[in-house]
Structure 1
Amino acid sequence: MSDLCPVYAPFFSAMGCTSAIVFTCPSPSALPRVPLTSPPSPLRRHRCKRVRSYGTAKSGVGIAAMSVLRPDQMMKCVVPVIMAGIIAIYGLVVSVLIASDLSVAMSLAQGFVQLGAGLSVGLAGLAAGFAIGIVGDAGVRGTAQQPRLFVGMILILIFAEVLGLYGLIVALIMNTKSQDLSGVC
């Protein structure tokens, strides 16, 4: 181990992998609602499996409200939920790519670049998820009242999805460049 390749360098890659997953699948209700003085419970650890991302949940509320007024258009308005799920796939792809490059001997620069790649896709996915949730909720409710708004909702959803796609592209470029830094150690 040298100054360029310290023993803690893989930690930053692992944090990049973690941030890619955590930020693209946000769930505020996954946080414990019990006081911090209580002992840990197994239910608190498994609560994350039951919750959805913000975009899916917010769009789902709009779909539930819309299906009461116009049940014939319910399947057409599931598009925001599907688009919110695609954001999570972006984070999964980048985290798998970062995890495949993890090794014991890696340079500090490679770890930092992979951390940046994870943060890039994660934070872009977080912003896209919130945008899709807000647009999906309002768009689905508006489509229930005026069906001509469906095309406009889809266009705005595409613009929101592109935020996550930009983060994915930047993360893929950064991860590719991090492989050039692996020859230092």
Structure 2
Amino acid sequence: MADEAPPSYTPFFGIMGATAAMVFSALGAAYGTAKSGTGIAAMSVMRPELIMKSVIPVIMAGIIAIYGVVVAVVVANSITDDNSYTLYKSFLHLGAGLSVGLSGLAAGFAIGIVGDAGVRGTAQQPRLYVGMILVLIFAEVLGLYGLIVALILSTK
């Protein structure tokens, strides 16, 4: 019974894990970039000298996509077509992809909203900048938590 081959659909779940990691984290990064970018564009009309200082939310949103790429590559490289890739392993990979993907989506939304409001507010009151950076760090770490869980799941 232990030498029995896993079902033919076993790799599907691993592939869906890699896909979920990339798609959801890229969606979060795209939303964070777009939302923060509109804030930067609105702010730059009033204070064009602050444009480079206000790019921080866009950079932080891009990092979210990197988390997804890392997990997608780890999962995709673990998928094999022989009997060593079990259903259990494929479910772990699905969980890893959903973990980093959905936490990256949430982090991207948070970064976008905080980045938009933060850069607009910084144009009016420069002392707001440090507070914006702190909140952005707390939003970014949500994606990092998902990455940590995904790496633990994908290496079991």
Query: Normalising by structure 1, what TM-score?
Result: 0.80
- C-alpha RMSD of the superposition: 1.3
Matches of 1:2 and 1:62, distance apart in 2: 57
Which amino acid in the other structure matches residue 151 of structure 2? L
* Structure 2 residue 120 is the aligned partner of structure 1 residue 119: no
Structure 2 residue runs without a partner (length 5+): none
Secondary structure of 1:171 counterpart? helix
Aligned to 1:45: none
Paired residue type of 1:136: G
- Name segments (4+ residues, structure 1) moved above 3 Å: none
CA contact (8 A) 1:7 1:104 kept: no
Identity of aligned residues (%): 70
- What's the CA shift for 1:2? 3.1
Q: Does 1:90 align with 2:67?
A: yes
1:171 aligns with 2:142: no
Alignment partner of 1:101 is 2:78: yes
TM-score, normalised by the number of residues in structure 2: 0.95
Q: Which runs of 5+ in 1 are unaligned?
A: 28-51, 178-185
Aligned: 1:2 with 2:8 = no
Superposed displacement of residue 6, structure 1 = 1.1
Which structure: greater helix fraction?
A: 2
- Alignment partners' CA distance in 2, 1:145 and 1:72: 13
1:76 counterpart residue number: 53
Residue type of the alignment partner of 1:7: S
Does the CA contact (< 8 Å) of 1:24 and 1:123 recur in 2? yes
Report matched runs for 1:24-173 at 5 Å: 24-26=25-27, 53-105=30-82, 106-173=85-152
